[in-house]
Amino acid sequence: MAQLPLDLGHRPALGWDDFLVAPPNQAAVQWLDRWPRWPGPALALFGPAGSGKTHLAHVFQARSQAVFIAPEELAADRVRPLLGRFRAAIIDGGERAPLKDGGEALFHLYNLLAEIGGHLLLVSREPPSRWRIDLPDLRSRLLAAPAVDVVPPDDALLASVLVKLFADRQLTVGKDVIGYLLTRLERSFAAARGAVEALDKAALAAQRRVTIPLARQVLESGPGSREGGRPLI
């Protein structure tokens, strides 16, 4: 009888020691390493989904004791309560923030952090230069902030990420499995996380090791994989 896999709420580590540095994310890591010696109050990290931006944001949060503020929560009369005692803030989905009340709330948050010597990390898919920003003063401030591109992982980084993700779940897999996954997964951290999670559950249910036949079975039945350079499903 197959064992029923239980979702025990696996939590990936999100500290500096758990982040793998490679050319695709090296510039972003170097900018976060410079904190709090940024040239201005704000820094923007941008890149496609699955490139590791949110992981970097959590790393920054742990280091700076920043507060996450959702774009939907922003309002001019709520900026001080949202910031509270914190001297740093992170907005993940930053391109949506200027759309709230014409950007007044984000402008207020920027200025408040500048006044107290604090910092703002904006995380988005596109750089601020491509955002819709109707408020001229806000636009000038955001365009003056450094904007760092976080690109999808290359083969070397994705292989290291896969090894780490399996290790986080106390799974040991052979190099052959890692190589097999590299030729079939989309180039994103999200695809790697999804594949490892699916393989973990499948291995537990079947009470077997993670092997190429199991990986083939899982990838052919789930999203995030590719065959001949395109997603399988």
> Does residue 88 sit in the same domain as residue 32?
yes
Mean pLDDT rounded to a whole number for the chain: 86
Residue 17 lies in a domain: no
Find the CATH number of the domain harbouring 194: 1.10.8.60
Take residue 154 and report the two structure tokens written for it.
């290359």
Residue 8 lies in a domain: no
Q: Which is more confident, 164 or 222?
A: 164
Final residue of a structural domain among 134, 149, 164: 149
Give the pLDDT of residue 191.
87
Give the pLDDT of residue 13.
46
Q: Is the pLDDT of residue 23 over 90?
A: no
Neighbours of 198 (CB within 10 A): 20
Q: Is the pLDDT of residue 9 over 70?
A: no
With 0-12 CB in 10 A as exposed, 13-18 as middle and 19+ as buried, what is 203?
A: buried
Residue 108 lies in a domain: yes
Give the pLDDT of residue 19.
59
> Does residue 126 sit in the same domain as residue 170?
no
What would the mean pLDDT of 192-198 be, rounded to a whole number?
92
Rounded Cα gap, residues 110 and 118, in angstroms: 9
* Range(s) of the domain holding residue 134: 23-149
> Does residue 143 sit in the same domain as residue 210?
no
Q: Is the pLDDT of residue 51 over 50?
A: yes
Give the pLDDT of residue 140.
97
- 121 within 8 A of 113, measured Cβ to Cβ: no
The DSSP call for residue 57 is H
| pLDDT band (50, 70, 90) for residue 6 | very low
Residue 225 lies in a domain: no
Final residue of a structural domain among 94, 118, 149: 149
> Does residue 41 sit in the same domain as residue 56?
yes
Find the CATH number of the domain harbouring 129: 3.40.50.300
> Does residue 94 sit in the same domain as residue 132?
yes
pTM of the entire structure?
0.72
Give the pLDDT of residue 223.
55
What would the mean pLDDT of 152-174 be, rounded to a whole number?
89
> Does residue 27 sit in the same domain as residue 102?
yes
> Does residue 107 sit in the same domain as residue 62?
yes
DSSP per-residue string spanning 143-204: HHS-EEE-PPP-HHHHHHHHHHHHHHTT----HHHHHHHHTTB-SSHHHHHHHHHHHHHHHH
| pLDDT band (50, 70, 90) for residue 57 | very high
Per-residue model confidence as pLDDT tens digits over 33-42: 999 999 999 9
Q: Is the pLDDT of residue 5 over 60?
A: no
User: Which amino acid does the sequence have at 36?
Assistant: P
Question: Considering its fold, how many domains does the chain have in total?
Answer: 2
Q: Which is more confident, 161 or 46?
A: 46
| Residue closest to 121 by CA, chosen among 34, 15, 32, 30 | 32
